[in-house]
Structures are given as C-alpha cells and as structure tokens.
Amino acid sequence: MKTLEVDLGNRSYPIHIGSDLIDQPELFSACEKATSIYIVTNTTVAPLYAERLTKTLGQLGKPVRTIVLPDGESYKDWKNLQLIFDDLLKFGADRQTMLVALGGGVIGDMTGFAAASFMRGIRFIQVPTTLLAQVDSSVGGKTGINHPLGKNMIGAFHQPVAVIADLNTLKTLPARELSAGLAEVVKHGAIADTEFLNWIEANAKSLLACETSAMAHAVLRSCEIKSAVVSADEREGGIRATLNFGHTFGHAIEAGMGYGSWLHGEAVGCGMVMGADLSRRLNFITQDEVDRLTKIIQSMNLPTDPPKFGAQRYMELMQVDKKTEGGQIRYVVLEKIGKAQIKSVPDAQVIETLAATGAV
Ligand SMILES: NC(=O)c1ccc[n+]([C@@H]2O[C@H](COP(=O)([O-])OP(=O)(O)OC[C@H]3O[C@@H](n4cnc5c(N)ncnc54)[C@H](O)[C@@H]3O)[C@@H](O)[C@H]2O)c1
Ligand SMILES: O=C(O)C(=O)C[C@@H](O)[C@H](O)[C@H](O)COP(=O)(O)O
Ligand SMILES: [Zn+2]
C-alpha cells in the first residue's frame, strides 16, 4: 500500500492506494469518534462491495447503515440528493455521523455534497471504486450535483477526511468505464507531466487490460499530481483551473447530450482534443502535438468526434461554465505538452476550433 497526503493544514488527509483495502478496518480510523456510519452507494456497487465494507466498518463497533441510490449521471440531482438526507434524518444521524462514499464519481460528488450540507457539515470518507474516481474525483473536495442547464452547478468545496482507493475493485469495472477513467489520467500527463504522458502512451495496452501494476502507477501518479495542485490552490483561485483541461468543451457535450449519454470521461477526452486544437490556434503547441494527443486518447478507446450541436449551441452551453467571468468564457489551453494555463480566447478562434473538430 502507498499513502500520500493532501496538505491542507488541519484539514489534511491521507490517500491510501493498494489492494483489498476495503477489508482493513485500521484504514478507517477517522471513524473512531463517529456515533454512526452511513455507507452511501448505488444499485450496481452495493451488491459488489457493500457487504464487505459493512463487515469491515462493523469491526469499529459503531452502527453501520447503507443508503442505496439509483445508478447513473442522470440521478446526480436534487431529488436523489434528498434521498440521502431523508435516510440520515429518519435513522437519527447526528453531527458526529460519518458518511462513506462507496462508488464512482457520481456517488462521491453527491455524498460529499450531502456531508457538506447536512447539519451544516459532517465528515466523510471517499472509497472510490471506478478508475475515474480513484485518479480524480475522490481527491480535492469538489462536491455537488448537476443542473439541467449546467454540469456540477450546485455544490460546495468540502474535503473528505480520508481517501481509500482499493485497486482490486477496478477488476469488476466495465471496459467503457475504464476508458472513461483513462481520459482523466491522460489529462494529468497532458497538463502537468510529459514523462507521465510518455509512460501512458507506452503502456496503453496494460492500462486497457487493467493490469494491477499499471493501474497502481496510474492512480498513484495521478493522485500525486492532483493532490499537489489542490494543496496549492484548494478553491480554484489559480492553478487548480488547469485540472479543468478539456472540461469547458466536455461539460457542454455532457449537458447538451443529456447527462449520462456520453460518460464524463468520454466527454473530457473529446474536450481535450478540442482544447488541444485551440492551443494550436494560439500558437502554443504544434499540429503534430495535437495529433499525438488525439492518438493517445483514441488508443484508450475514447471518442474524439464531438456531437454536431453547431457553434451557437456550443457557445451557449459553454457560457455557463464556472470559469466564466463577467460573461467572458475562459479556457484551459496547453502552453506546451505538460503545462497548461487558463485564458480568455476570442469567440472567433473558438468557433474555428468547433468547425475544425467537426462540432459544427
Ligand atoms: N469532484 C471531482 O473533482 C470530480 C472529478 C472528475 C469527475 N467528477 C464527476 O464524477 C462523475 C463521473 O464519475 P465516474 O466516471 O466514476 O462515473 P459513475 O460514478 O457514474 O460510475 C460509473 C459506473 O461504474 C459503476 N461502478 C462503480 N464502481 C464499480 C465497480 N468497481 N465495478 C463495476 N461497476 C462499478 C457505477 O455504478 C456506474 O454505473 C461525473 O459526475 C463527474 O462530473 C468529479
Ligand atoms: O478537481 C478539479 O478541480 C477538476 O477540475 C477535476 C475535474 O476532472 C472534475 O471533472 C471537476 O468536477 C470539474 O470541476 P468543475 O468545477 O468544472 O465542475
Ligand atoms: Zn473531470
């Protein structure tokens, strides 16, 4: 097992990465002072892992309950968030209750938001079971739900007290979900670490085969990159925005298609191709570098042809992005491979990218 730390002063927390971690009660020591523990999970993950985790948490001598939500991005909304509050109140949860998010990014984001707002804030632990959640969403404390008009529009920054990433849970992940997670892995290489990107490119087969040693490295290096960024800029005043590479276009695809049609990682993969094209138009990277990044994304079995919403619809959808300031959309672009920056770009140039990448 490897352990990293997200360094946020007295809100610092460990990220544990290894095999069969959900069977190890000592990793859940943050529950020591909890009056009760609620596992929040969904109808797909519950039959796979809830019983094992309940057994582990049961060894801590606290009452353990499970809240099971419907599965899917389309349920990341107010109505289903309310189901968590309903159960917490019905069964007498209090301010010392610990929530444990068992699942992918949807469960993590919703459980985190429930923890941020229940009784004005309780503690929670992330137990990510998708690659995407292990390399990205479980770390950093962005929590929330979608709005029909925009992705993750309602939420809060609320850090977990621990992240426990059990690599063995990835063995039951469908291939399409594995590929979606690899999009965020590629993103970390593209924005922060050329050597890591080279490694990803050279190890595409092992990654797609979900080989444990490849997964271990992808999760560890991604968490190192993300935790360093979050430790430096928790609330996205500056450098954290670079983690949004591919997301301005990607979130527009997700919202425009209806949540759940394209997976988040698929939309981000395609969004990165569009972001790379925009970076070339700004004379930051070369066409060869755009082509290379596109090939890496395709090698992960991810789509790179955006839906044809037309320029006006894309601009409308992107306008509600959280990075927009004073009506000005700001994009994450690659200054070079391995380094990103946030930038306002004239609409005309963005529309050229939309046209060139087939979005129009
Ligand atoms: N908070 C953040 O920083 C952050 C970062 C990236 C993404 N996100 C959010 O995360 C969400 C995407 O997360 P995701 O890709 O994990 O999707 P997801 O949570 O929908 O999980 C994907 C699918 O895999 C299933 N699943 C989960 N674990 C499994 C396992 N071990 N075996 C078999 N099936 C399993 C789920 O039930 C679901 O059907 C989006 O809502 C996105 O906005 C948040
Ligand atoms: O943690 C971050 O910061 C990120 O931007 C990571 C993204 O992969 C993630 O999808 C995040 O939820 C997007 O943030 P948002 O603020 O654009 O909703
Ligand atoms: Zn993302």
Q: Where along the chain do its domains lie? A: 2-171, 175-356
Pocket test for ligand 2, best of 159, 247, 262 (most atoms within 8 A of CB): 247
Token readout for 292 is: 């290379």
| Percent of the chain at pLDDT exceeding 70 | 100
| Residue found under tokens 């990607």 | 250
| Torsion region of 121: left, alpha or beta (phi above 0 gives left; psi -120 to 50 gives alpha) | left
User: Does residue 240 line the site of ligand 2, with CB under 6 A?
Assistant: yes
pTM over 0.90: yes
Provide mean pLDDT across the span 71-82. 98
Whether the CB-CB separation of 105 and 254 falls below 8 Å is answered with no
Which ligand sits nearest to residue 159's alpha carbon? 1
| Percent of the chain at pLDDT exceeding 90 | 100
pLDDT of residue 159: 98
Q: Is 2-171 a CATH 3.40.640.10 domain?
A: no
Strand order of the β-sheet with 13-18 is 2-6, 13-18, 162-166, 123-128, 98-103, 37-42, 64-69
- Per-residue confidence band for 92, with pLDDT thresholds at 50, 70 and 90: very high
CA 348 to ligand 1 centroid distance, Å: 34
Token readout for 144 is: 């929330």
d(CA 53, CA 30): 15
Whether the CB-CB separation of 67 and 51 falls below 8 Å is answered with no
Token readout for 211 is: 């080989």
| Torsion region of 197: left, alpha or beta (phi above 0 gives left; psi -120 to 50 gives alpha) | alpha
Element (H, E) at 263: none
Provide mean pLDDT across the span 282-289. 98
Pocket test for ligand 2, best of 8, 106, 136 (most atoms within 8 A of CB): 136
How many degrees, rounded to 5, is the angle at CA 23 between CA 21 and CA 27? Answer: 55
- Per-residue confidence band for 150, with pLDDT thresholds at 50, 70 and 90: very high
Q: What is the dihedral of CA 280, 153, 101, 228, to 10 degrees?
A: 40
Whether the CB-CB separation of 40 and 84 falls below 8 Å is answered with yes
Provide mean pLDDT across the span 8-30. 98
- Per-residue confidence band for 325, with pLDDT thresholds at 50, 70 and 90: very high
Provide mean pLDDT across the span 241-265. 98
User: Residue 237: phi, psi to the nearest 5?
Assistant: -80, -20
d(CA 103, CA 50): 10
Q: CATH number for the 175-356 domain, one of 1.10.560.10, 1.10.40.30, 3.40.50.300, 1.20.1090.10? A: 1.20.1090.10
Provide mean pLDDT across the span 148-157. 96
Residue 193 labeled ligand binder: no
Please indicate whether residue 120 is annotated as part of the active site. yes
Report the b/e string of 174-186 with b at 16+ CB within 10 A. eeebbbbbbbbbb
d(CA 203, CA 198): 9
In this structure, the residues whose C-beta lies within 6 A of any atom of ligand 1 are: 42, 44-45, 48, 71, 73, 76, 103-107, 109, 129-130, 132-133, 136-137, 140, 142, 152, 169, 172-173, 177, 180, 264-265
Element (H, E) at 213: helix 212-232
d(CA 178, CA 172): 10
Beta carbons within 8 Å of 151's beta carbon, 6+ residues apart: 251, 254, 255, 259
